[in-house]
Amino acid sequence: MALDRITLADFRNHRSTRLEGTKRINLLVGENGAGKTNVLEAISLFAPGRGLRRAALAEMASQASAADSHSGGFAVSAVLDRDDGAGDVSLGTGISPERSGRRIVRVGGSEASAVSLGEWLAIAWLTPAMDRLFADSATARRHYLDRLAVALEPGHARISARYAAALRERNRLLADPTEPDAAWLESIEAQMADAGALLAQGRARLVDRLGEALAHHPDRPFARPALSYVPGGPAERDDLRRALAAARPGDRAAQRTLQGPHRDELEVRMAGKNIAAAACSTGEQKAMLIAITLAHAELAAQGRPGLLLLDEVAAHLDPIRRDALFERLDAGRAQVWLTGTERAPFAALGGDAAVWRVASGSAERI
Quick one: CA torsion of 190, 192, 196, 199, rounded to 10 degrees?
A: 120
Q: Are residues 161 and 249 in the same domain?
A: yes
- From CA 275, how far away is CA 141, in angstroms rounded? 18
- From CA 339, how far away is CA 27, in angstroms rounded? 6
In this structure, which amino acid lies at residue 253?
A
Domain boundary among 254, 271, 301: 301
Q: What is the pLDDT of residue 341?
A: 95
- From CA 350, how far away is CA 339, in angstroms rounded? 15
Q: Are residues 4 and 82 in the same domain?
A: yes
CATH number at residue 67: 3.40.50.300
Q: Are residues 116 and 152 in the same domain?
A: no
Q: Are residues 152 and 260 in the same domain?
A: yes
Instruction: Spell 311-338 as b/e; 16+ CB within 10 A means b.
Output: bbbbeebeeebbebbbebbeebebbbbb
Q: What is the pLDDT of residue 245?
A: 97
Q: How many domains does the chain have?
A: 2
The DSSP annotation for 1-70 comes to: -EEEEEEEEEETTEEEEEE-S--SEEEEE--TTSSHHHHHHHHHTTSSSSTTTT--HHHHB-GGGGGSTT
List the pLDDT tens digit at each of the 366 positions of the chain: 689 999 999 999 999 999 999 999 999 999 999 999 999 999 999 999 899 999 999 999 987 655 555 467 999 999 998 766 667 999 999 998 888 778 999 999 999 999 899 889 999 999 999 999 999 999 999 999 999 999 999 999 999 999 999 999 999 999 999 988 999 999 999 999 999 999 999 999 999 999 999 988 777 788 899 999 999 999 999 999 999 999 999 999 999 999 999 999 999 999 988 999 999 998 889 999 999 999 999 898 887 889 999 999 988 788 898 999 999 999 888 999 999 999 999 988 878 899 999 999 999 999
The pTM (predicted TM-score) of the whole model is 0.90
Q: Does residue 237 contact residue 197 with C-beta atoms inside 8 Å?
A: yes
Q: Are residues 353 and 242 in the same domain?
A: no
Q: Are residues 95 and 147 in the same domain?
A: no
The H-or-E segment that residue 100 falls in is none
- From CA 353, how far away is CA 336, in angstroms rounded? 9
Q: What is the pLDDT of residue 86?
A: 66
Q: Are residues 139 and 233 in the same domain?
A: yes
Kindly report each contact of residues 160-163 with a partner whose C-beta sits within 8 Å and lies 24 or more positions away, as own/partner. 160/195, 160/199, 162/191, 162/194, 162/195, 163/192, 163/195, 163/196, 163/199, 163/260, 163/261, 163/262
Q: Are residues 274 and 199 in the same domain?
A: yes
Examine residue 127 and state whether it is found in any structural domain, yes or no: no
Q: What is the pLDDT of residue 170?
A: 97
Examine residue 12 and state whether it is found in any structural domain, yes or no: yes
Distance of CA 54 to the CA centre of its chain: 9
Q: What is the pLDDT of residue 16?
A: 95
Q: Are residues 20 and 89 in the same domain?
A: yes
**What domain range includes position 54?**
1-121+304-366
CATH number at residue 249: 1.20.1050.90
Q: What is the pLDDT of residue 97?
A: 85
Q: What is the pLDDT of residue 99?
A: 80
- From CA 5, how far away is CA 7, in angstroms rounded? 6
Q: Are residues 148 and 290 in the same domain?
A: yes
Examine residue 126 and state whether it is found in any structural domain, yes or no: no
Q: Does residue 321 contact residue 258 with C-beta atoms inside 8 Å?
A: no
Q: Are residues 147 and 261 in the same domain?
A: yes
Q: Are residues 204 and 261 in the same domain?
A: yes
